[in-house]
Structure 1
């Protein structure tokens, strides 16, 4: 029997998602930084892997990102372009990618935070055009996105930018484009209180940005806001979030003093073993274990 020309290759120990390979290709320090249209079309059709993208960015220093500025700028521009196009699922993938990208880029310690971040993300000469388009695209999705999940993703992108670049000049683009009506519309149309926390957190960050240096438009909006229905929804969301946070904290480390009972009284005198059916309280976790559990919340 004639031998088959096909050869069997060894099965790899683990399969790498195609999108991860594209991440690695994108962030290679090579001269050919400009990727083809086909590359980006495939990039924003594959299921994103934010954890892997964050891992890749975590291994890069601030100086490394400055060296890779061409790739990062192109990724940001392409992602915003796909968001503006509004074609599923590419716009959702682009929003998830933007959230991870901004989180990974903005948490670095730069020598000159404001200018270095602008250089990495857009370039000093293109900053106004890029960030204005970026904020406009988010505003449109938050206000008119085709479903709440998509609008929530846009809010998460805005949160990544706002929280990461809070002490830079980038937030001025959010004050030039008033997101308040879009955020209020989203809160009003939210189907549960859990969704309200993130837009309200974003609003709080924006309302406190340079509030003593100029008339913050978000702060002025809040001072004049009288929609009782939305206010009630926000209050309910804050209450439920606070209660949930407290329950999760207590589940890790209940630091309330234990009330007196038969077991604790006998234990005080060294007779805890005599208490009928009593079980000693669960030991408190050590500081390192508690820290890890709190981080996982």
Structure 2
């Protein structure tokens, strides 16, 4: 009996999501051919692996990012297009990818931050068109969504925060000054029924209203000065309070540095009789690495 021409492949130790392979092709094997239309369709149909994308971007130096600017520009413009198209789930995947991508490339230490970041995202010839489309797409998603589409509106806010915080010392934030998204943010806050969803748009508003506020009349600062909608203001106060309380509780859960008050257990422990103390034993303190990981998750 003739042997079969088919050969059995060895089973890999771990299975890698297809999207991670696409990340590696795009960023680590950039010398390959230009990504095709099919590549981009598949890219935004697959759920993003945001942790893995961050890890890949972290190991690429600023100079190497500039070397693959053609691919980064394509990713940025294509993600904007997919987010604005409104087709689920590609629009949500595109916004999540944008948030992680911007967080990875904007925080690198470039020699000439403003011009280098423009090169990475759009190029000097297309920057006005591309960044204006980015801001317009986010404005439309945040403004025109309803309570049924809170998730995608929140994803758009997160993408805007990633751009604003990462490019704060560059000229990119001026595009948010030219297109006022204050009404969209206030509408989102007004529509929100869950208080924890209010904090992020308020953080974005805070970043925008403080941008170069001593150098020119910041439109967001002027808007806040004139804002008198009491119900929305109460929502902002309530949402900020709930978020701060959650953050405080999360911090205490990781590292409770308050001095312990005197009680029966602590008194017995002071005299070396801790074994006689009632109640549960004190928790083992976290190592610095464990504490850092938990703080990062907050």
Query: Which residue in 2 is equivalent to 1:190?
Result: 192
TM-score, with length taken from structure 2: 0.93
In the alignment, the residues of structure 1 paired with residue 49 and residue 85 of structure 2 have an alpha-carbon distance, to the nearest angstrom, of 21
Query: Which residue in 1 is equivalent to 2:294?
Result: 293
In the alignment, the residues of structure 1 paired with residue 255 and residue 269 of structure 2 have an alpha-carbon distance, to the nearest angstrom, of 21
| 1:82–1:3 Cα change, 3 Å | same
Query: Which residue in 1 is equivalent to 2:87?
Result: 87
In the alignment, the residues of structure 2 paired with residue 17 and residue 286 of structure 1 have an alpha-carbon distance, to the nearest angstrom, of 32
In the alignment, the residues of structure 2 paired with residue 286 and residue 46 of structure 1 have an alpha-carbon distance, to the nearest angstrom, of 37
In the alignment, the residues of structure 2 paired with residue 280 and residue 46 of structure 1 have an alpha-carbon distance, to the nearest angstrom, of 47
The 8 Å contact of residues 264 and 277 in structure 2, kept in 1 or not, is answered as no
Query: Which residue in 1 is equivalent to 2:220?
Result: 218
| 1:53–1:281 Cα change, 3 Å | closer
Range with greater deviation from structure 2 (156-165 or 18-27): 18-27
Matches within 5 A, 1:211-250: 211-250=213-252
TM-score, with length taken from structure 1: 0.93
Query: Which residue in 2 is equivalent to 1:35?
Result: 35
| 1:2–1:252 Cα change, 3 Å | same
| 1:258–1:175 Cα change, 3 Å | same
| 1:116–1:4 Cα change, 3 Å | same
Query: Which residue in 2 is equivalent to 1:23?
Result: 23
| 1:10–1:284 Cα change, 3 Å | closer
Structure 1 unaligned residues grouped into runs of 5+: none
Query: Which residue in 1 is equivalent to 2:119?
Result: 119
Residue-by-residue CA offset, 1:80-106 (whole Å, 9 max, x unaligned): 111222111211111111111101101
Tell me by how many angstroms 1:181 deviates.
0.5
In the alignment, the residues of structure 1 paired with residue 238 and residue 130 of structure 2 have an alpha-carbon distance, to the nearest angstrom, of 37
Aligned partner of residue 199 in structure 2, secondary structure: helix
Tell me by how many angstroms 1:286 deviates.
4.8
Matches within 5 A, 1:70-219: 70-145=70-145, 147-219=149-221
Tell me by how many angstroms 1:48 deviates.
1.4
Structure 2 unaligned residues grouped into runs of 5+: none
The 8 Å contact of residues 184 and 230 in structure 1, kept in 2 or not, is answered as yes
In the alignment, the residues of structure 1 paired with residue 96 and residue 76 of structure 2 have an alpha-carbon distance, to the nearest angstrom, of 12
In the alignment, the residues of structure 2 paired with residue 285 and residue 38 of structure 1 have an alpha-carbon distance, to the nearest angstrom, of 48
